[in-house]
Each structure stands twice: as structure tokens, then as C-alpha cells.
Amino acid sequence: MIKRVAAAVVGLGVLGGGGFLAYAWYPSIAPITPPQPSSFSPDKIRRGALVAAAGYCSECHTRQDLGGGPDLAGDYKMETPFGDLFSSNITPDPETGIGTWSEEAFRRAMWKGVDREGTQLYPAFPFDHFTQMTAEDISDLYAFIMTRPAVHLKPRDNTIPFPINIRLIGQGAWKLLYFTPGRYKPNPQKDAEWNRGAYLAEGASHCSSCHTPRDFMGAEKQSAKYDGAVIDGWIAPPLNAHNPTPTAWTEDELFAYLRNGVAPLHGPAGGPMSPVPHTFLSQLPASDVHAIAHYFADLDHAAERQSGDAAAVTTAMQRSGTDLVGPTVDPDAKLYQGACGACHYNSGKGPVLGRPELALNNALWLDEPNNLFMVMLHGLTAEEGQSHVAMPSFYTALDDHDMARIAAYLRRTRTNRPAWKDLEKKAAEARATLKTPPVNASR
């Protein structure tokens, strides 16, 4: 009897394994001669450029360490819990890029996460979002990429260990657990602008890739979608009703932030978010950026929250002025005044665009101080945040103890949130992520 049961279990395992291999295995698609740029119409290439901007393609497919690299030639280093990944060269070079890929092969990679040769792609390439894109958008993107300069550059080898590096098994299993292929389906309960915003945000722009926490397998936690996550030491804040800022992310605020890199009440974009408005979304039609803003304003429940904005701004202005009224006996306030108060000071009815009001900024309202420490250490160049307005890095001017004092002071005087814990330790951890002082560090 036991032998019969064991044989049955083995048989089922073989059948199951055969079924899994049938699911995970893909054939190669025949290579082609790289298409001539003249085979694509100028309008198609122009539309493809907009798709590439919406998808931030060059951000992850262009090397940023080792002095940088050619556009779209790959070798961008991604540090993951499983090892280091290096992005693919997606220029039309026939040897090290995708010059021999047909549009069919390109579309399969975008929709199914499988390359031309049939190899499963790691989900660091967000095919789980790109699968929602239309065939027309992918065709236009293909035209744009195939008309870029071909660059002969072989990316560095990944350092993913065995057995995860056996892609047929590791990535096939990941897809079986987490991947649902298919195009975006409009929500009939929402208007056309909302659906356009959702299509862009959930598809090409893959916003939840950064703004959603991930599980131990590296998959987005759908039960916590847009609840925020840590990216390169920064917190990508919640984009839903869990966002703790005292003023709502209205459509107008979001449009200004996504289009220009700064919003009147919420301040400038910093860290990994800086290129999104300045390099990419600023290229899109205003109507598309409005659509994305419309979508996320709804997720933020901005219409319901907006009624409290006026009171929040009044309170912030009152708190902002207290540091500079008369002599203070609070040594932490003196430290803040000397290091920060000259710029981060507002008065009147609302904040000045070039002087972000910290009492309204999400860096002070988040559960952890990451973003406050990171912006203090990194600063903002004139190309980040608000154009032509810079903030120096305090990497060398403030030590971890001073940074912790300023953070504790701001948290207790500018918000009604619980005090942050272990601030000096967290300041040191933030400093360690930068490794070397930024070029704009103050002395």
C-alpha cells in the first residue's frame, strides 16, 4: 500500500513538474536584421518617445555608476535582497542590444516578461505593469527604441545566486504565484480622465513599483498597494488615503508636483523622485499629467480631505514663525535656526514656493525620518526639486547628533505625531547609504 501511495505521489509530482515546465518554457523567436529607422514614420517615433518618457525607460536602462553610460545601453546597477542585477542594453545594437528583436519579440518581453531567446526576465523589469499596455503603445515604443543610436556595450553579469538564477524555475515560479498577464480594463464606474490616469500609472509608469511594499519574494503586496515603501534609503510615501500629510494631495497640487517638480503646499521632489517630473513627465502632454493627478487625487481621497487644508496651512504658518520671534532658550531651536531657518521660514497666509514649509512637508509626518535625513545629507541641486532653487548638502556641516537634534525638534514643534525613536542611529544609517559626500556639500 505504502509503495502504491509513494508511486502515486511521484507520478503526480512528475505530472505537476511537466505542467510547470510547459507553463514556464517559451520558444525562441527568430532574429531579424535590425530595421532601418526610415521604416518607421516620424509620427510613430514621436508617439513612442512619449511612451518611453511615461515609462522612464532611460532611468533604469542607463548606467549611473562608474561615471555613467550611454543612453539606453543598460548596465544600471540594481541592488536587491537577492543580489545585484544589471539592466539590459535596449539599444538596437545587434550583438549586445536588442537590434535582432522583432516587434513580436519586443511585445512578448513587455507583456509576458520573456526575452527573444525564450529566457524568463527578472521582475526588476516591471513586465507585471507593462502587460497592461496596449499593442499600439508598445508598437510605438518599439519604433522609438529601434531608431535610437546603437551602442555596443555588454552589461556586467548579475550576481543572483543559485538556485534563483535558474530563471526557468525561479522566475517561472514567481510568475505562477504573482503574475497575471492582460491589458488594462477601464473601470466603468470612473470617468475617462480617471481611466487614462490609471492606465498610465498602473501600466507604463508603474508607479506602485516604488510606492508599494514588497514581500520576501520581491512581489508587490497587493493588500498594501500604494502604502509606501523604502527605495535607496528614501521613503516613497503613500499615494493613497494613508498619506499622513496635513493637506490633501489635490489634483492641482499633484499636477504641479508631477509637471514641475514642486507643489505649493507639499514642496519639491527629491531623491529618486526628482527625475520623474523633470526628465520624464514634463515631456508628456499636460492632459496626461492631469489624468495621472486626477487618478491619484482620487486615491488620496483629496476631495474629502481638502476641507481641512486652510486650517492646516494657518497652523503651519503659526508654527513656522515661532523660531525667529525673540531670543530662544531651546538649544535645538538655535541649531535649527542657524542651519535651516534662513530658508525654511514663511509668514503670511501661505508658504512661498521657493521656501518649502516643513510643517506641511511629508518628510516630517512619515512614520520614519528617512526622507528628512536624506534631504539634509543629499541636498537638492538646481536641477532637482524646484528649477533653479538649490539646497546645499549638510553632509559635512552637520554630524549625526546634530541631525538627530534637528529632526526631534521639528517633529515635536511642527507636527502632532509621536516622537521618532533612535534618531542618531537612523541618521548614521542614512549617511551610510550615500557613502561619499555629495558635490554640493556645505562646509
Per-residue pLDDT of 367-419, as tens digits, reads 999 999 999 999 998 888 777 888 999 999 999 999 999 999 999 999 999 99
pLDDT (0 to 100) of residue 7: 45
Please enumerate, by residue number, every residue annotated as part of a binding site: 57, 60-61, 207, 210-211, 340, 343-344
Distances 391 to 72, 265, 354, 356 between C-alpha atoms, Å: 30, 18, 10, 11
Distance CA 27, CA 389 (A): 52
Q: Check pLDDT > 50 for residue 190.
A: yes
pLDDT above 90 as % of the chain = 71
CA angle, 41 then 44 then 49, to 5°: 125
Which of 53-57, 126-130, 339-343 is predicted least confidently? Answer: 339-343
Whether pLDDT at 323 is above 70: no
Question: In this predicted model, which residue has the larger pLDDT, 184 or 440?
Answer: 184
Which pLDDT band, with edges at 50, 70 and 90, does 14 fall under?
very low
pLDDT at 252 over 90: yes
Helix axes 167-178, 2-24, angle to 10 degrees: 90
Where is 234: in which H helix or E strand? strand 234-236
User: Which residue ranges make up the annotated binding site for heme c?
Assistant: 57, 60-61, 207, 210-211, 340, 343-344
Distance from C-alpha of 391 to C-alpha of 399, rounded to nearest angstrom: 17
Does the pTM exceed 0.95? no
Q: How would you label 285-304 residue by residue, b for 16+ Cβ within 10 Å and e otherwise?
A: eeebbbbbbbbbbbbbebee
The cell 514643534 sits on which residue?
413
* CA separation for the pair 301, 313 (Å, rounded): 18
pLDDT at 10: 41
pLDDT for 163 beyond 70: yes
The full DSSP string for 245-296 is -SS---HHHHHHHHHHSEETTTEE--GGGTHIIIIIGGGS-HHHHHHHHHHH
